[in-house]
Amino acid sequence: MSDYLKMSREELAEEFKSVRHEYEHLRGLHLSLDMSRGKPGFDNMDLSGEMFDLVGNDTGFKNISGIDCRNYGGLDGLTELKTLFGKILGLQPDQIIVGGNSSLNMMFDTIAQAMTHGMGGEPWCKQDGLKFICPVPGYDRHFAVTEYFGFELIPVRMTPEGPDMNAVEELVKDSKVKGIWCVPKYSNPEGITYSDEVVRRMARLKPAAGDFRIFWDNAYVVHDLYDEGDRLLNIYDECLKAGNPDMPLIFASTSKITFPGAGVAVEAGSPNNVAMLKDRMKYQTIGPDKLNQLRHARMFRTVDDVKRHMKRHAAILRPKFESVISELVKQLSDTGIAKWTNPRGGYFISLDVLEGCAKRVEQLCANAGMILTPAGATYPYGNDPLDSNLRIAPSYPSVEEIKKASVVLCIAVRYAALEKLIAEKA
């Protein structure tokens, strides 16, 4: 493709004519496509269907410790799942709390409890002007939780190695800054895995707030698209070495391993943090859904079982990611109007279009029957100051649909860029 930024007004007008023609053709197809949310496809969920035969009258309801999972109790979850998640996250089983169906719910609860009862210090709600660090682009639901509780959301730009640590180190000198959101492996939406250096600098932070916490949301810990997955340094070990064992709160879930909304979530951390969290949880619940935990424990007896399962997911997801990337390369490389990530895992691709064009691309896609995550969603308050970033979620549609959607997306990116460039030359 030629570089749009070097084209004359006449060349741009000529190109626009052909792009508009293509766009009108696509609109005429009355497509109905959705690349908005990171949901697994039905074929991904089918991979876990056997789970429903693993617990029942024939197979029994007891876990390896002989606990009858039909009854109340077991506040922090089944032993075998604590062991399994411990191995996955590089932690001891007693550092793990296996909860309900949603890690986001555990994050929300943890912050809600810190608001009313503190995080080892004065309740956060008694302190004014609280702030939270939000690496951008990032996960809209993280930002929404801290916005809901009244934090000022401070964006910090992501680098190819993780959050800009110079900025983070500076920001934590302010005692009002209580935490940072991190998706350290295959980040949402860029698919970036934090480098060792970023993890070490994160672990060595010396925040002015003694109750500062790193919300280490390892949502995509086993979600490799290729045999050789990204490697992430163990944040807890690094924090321990740095004398900050209580700083990280670690989260994960099986939402994209088994069933979103019907999986199993975990929260983990230092012995101090786990004791504090369990002490709070006992007022909140008599125990989690152990039958669902048992189904998961029987399906995944070892880490190798999880790895085998994730390879099956990858076989479904990889062609979807590759279809998007190949269309981006075909239509947009060398045009100078777009940049994208090419993740090796996770659930998203991040696309940066010409400044001031992301909302227009979203609108053009919508008019051609394709829903994108709203432009701006990857920034605090839904406000991308450059109006440039779009999150592409290729997991849900079929490969055939993804191919069509990628064509629409790229045509829309070119359309919006040409409109802008032509207007600038007017």
Question: Given strand 389-392, what is the order of strands in its sheet?
Answer: 338-340, 349-353, 389-392
Residues 12 and 418: beta-carbon distance below 8 Å: yes
**Alpha-carbon span 141 to 326, nearest angstrom:** 29
The residue (of 101 and 388) whose beta carbon lies closer to ligand PLP is 101
Amino acid found at 79: T
* Contacting residue, 12, 35, 203, 219, with ligand PLP by CB under 6 A: 219
Stretch that binds ligand PLP, among 97-105, 119-127, 280-288, 404-412 (CB under 6 A): 97-105
Angstrom distances, CA of residue 90 to CA of 247, 307, 323, 367: 16, 15, 34, 47
Residues 238 and 205: beta-carbon distance below 8 Å: no
By the rule CB under 6 A, 139 interacts with ligand PLP: yes
Angstrom distances, CA of residue 361 to CA of 338, 375, 402, 415, 420: 12, 8, 17, 8, 11
Q: How far is the CB of 138 from ligand PLP (least distance, A)?
A: 8
The residue (of 183 and 268) whose beta carbon lies closer to ligand PLP is 183
**Alpha-carbon span 321 to 149, nearest angstrom:** 35
**Alpha-carbon span 165 to 182, nearest angstrom:** 12
The Cβ of residue 206 has, within 10 Å, a number of other Cβ atoms equal to 11
Q: How far is the CB of 298 from ligand PLP (least distance, A)?
A: 20
* Contacting residue, 110, 193, 253, 323, with ligand PLP by CB under 6 A: 253
Angstrom distances, CA of residue 233 to CA of 98, 252, 253: 22, 16, 19
Q: Sign of dihedral through CA atoms 181, 187, 189, 190?
A: positive
* Contacting residue, 88, 250, 265, 392, with ligand PLP by CB under 6 A: 265
* Contacting residue, 44, 95, 255, 389, with ligand PLP by CB under 6 A: 255
Q: What part of residues 5-44 is at the interface with ligand PLP (CB under 6 A)?
A: 38
Stretch that binds ligand PLP, among 101-109, 156-164, 375-383, 397-405 (CB under 6 A): 101-109
By the rule CB under 6 A, 299 interacts with ligand PLP: no
The residue (of 79 and 255) whose beta carbon lies closer to ligand PLP is 255
The residue (of 182 and 209) whose beta carbon lies closer to ligand PLP is 182
The residue (of 219 and 324) whose beta carbon lies closer to ligand PLP is 219
**Alpha-carbon span 381 to 236, nearest angstrom:** 30
Supply 99's token pair: 């909860």
Q: What part of residues 177-196 is at the interface with ligand PLP (CB under 6 A)?
A: 183, 188
The residue (of 103 and 331) whose beta carbon lies closer to ligand PLP is 103
Q: What is the CA radius of gyration of the chain?
A: 23
The residue (of 109 and 419) whose beta carbon lies closer to ligand PLP is 109
Q: How far is the CB of 102 from ligand PLP (least distance, A)?
A: 3
**DSSP-assigned states of every residue in 239-308:** HHHTT-TTSEEEEEESTTTS-TTSS-EEEE--HHHHHHHHHHHHHH-S---HHHHHHHHHH-SSHHHHHH
Burial 243-263 (b: 16+ CB within 10 A, else e): ebbbbbbbbbbbbbbbbbebb
Residues 70 and 345: beta-carbon distance below 8 Å: no
Q: How far is the CB of 219 from ligand PLP (least distance, A)?
A: 4
Stretch that binds ligand PLP, among 11-19, 102-110, 320-328, 413-421 (CB under 6 A): 102-110
Q: What part of residues 385-424 is at the interface with ligand PLP (CB under 6 A)?
A: none
Q: How far is the CB of 296 from ligand PLP (least distance, A)?
A: 13
By the rule CB under 6 A, 136 interacts with ligand PLP: no
Q: How far is the CB of 265 from ligand PLP (least distance, A)?
A: 5
* Contacting residue, 102, 110, 146, 292, with ligand PLP by CB under 6 A: 102
Q: How far is the CB of 183 from ligand PLP (least distance, A)?
A: 4
Q: How far is the CB of 19 from ligand PLP (least distance, A)?
A: 33
The residue (of 219 and 222) whose beta carbon lies closer to ligand PLP is 219
Residues at the contact surface with ligand PLP, assessed by CB under 6 A: 38, 102-104, 139, 183, 188, 217, 219, 253, 255, 260, 265
